[in-house]
Structure 1
Amino acid sequence: MSVHERRLDVRDPEDPPFDRIQEALSDLDPDERLTLINGFEPEPLYDVLDRRGFTYETTQVADDEWHVEIEHA
């Protein structure tokens, strides 16, 4: 089964990202992976992901850029 990639960049400081992230998670199909791009490590999100049954891997790619690869567990 191939995994389809989706990306969500939430680095815009004028737009609170939580609702957009929640919507993207709700729309994520079992064969999709969401790459969340954030300006800081989104530690508060990890509990939400755990509770909703997602696995994730976080990588810091620059001082102000973090990528979180999210999939259904």
Structure 2
Amino acid sequence: MHDEPDARLDAREVDGEPFSDIVAAIETLGDRETLLLVNSFEPEPLYGVLTDRGFDYETERAGDEWRVYITPN
């Protein structure tokens, strides 16, 4: 169980490729803030990008959606 995230982005609602929206959202996070990214599939290609940019993540599947909790490390 996770605490309430500081920000939420549902990639399913983004028109087109959501990558730039995701990057913009993580760049606004403070040191102890969390972004909840919701998607219809596990966004495995994103994990390397997050690691390279200094973010930790935890992924869980909830029914037909994937939730990725992203925090600065």
Gaps of 5+ in 1: none
1:34–1:69 CA contact under 8 A, matched in 2:
yes
For 1:37 and 1:14, how far apart are their aligned partners in 2?
14
For 1:19 and 1:9, how far apart are their aligned partners in 2?
13
Deviation digits for residues 9-63 of structure 1 (CA, Å, limit 9, x no counterpart): 0113742100100101111111210000011000000000100111100001013
1:4–1:31 CA contact under 8 A, matched in 2:
no
Query: Greater share of strand residues, 1 or 2?
Result: 1
| Equivalence for 2:68 | 68
Say which SS state the counterpart of residue 26 (structure 2) adopts: helix
Give matches, 1:1-73, under 5 Å: 5-12=6-13, 14-63=15-64, 65-73=65-73
Moved over 3 A (4+): none
- The alignment yields a C-alpha RMSD, in angstroms, of 1.7
Tell me: CA distance 1:40–1:53, structure 2 relative to 1, closer, same or farther (3 Å): same
Higher mean displacement: 27-36 or 8-17:
8-17
Q: Identity rate of aligned residues, in percent?
A: 47
| Count of residues in Structure 1 that have an aligned counterpart in Structure 2 | 70
Higher mean displacement: 11-20 or 42-51:
11-20
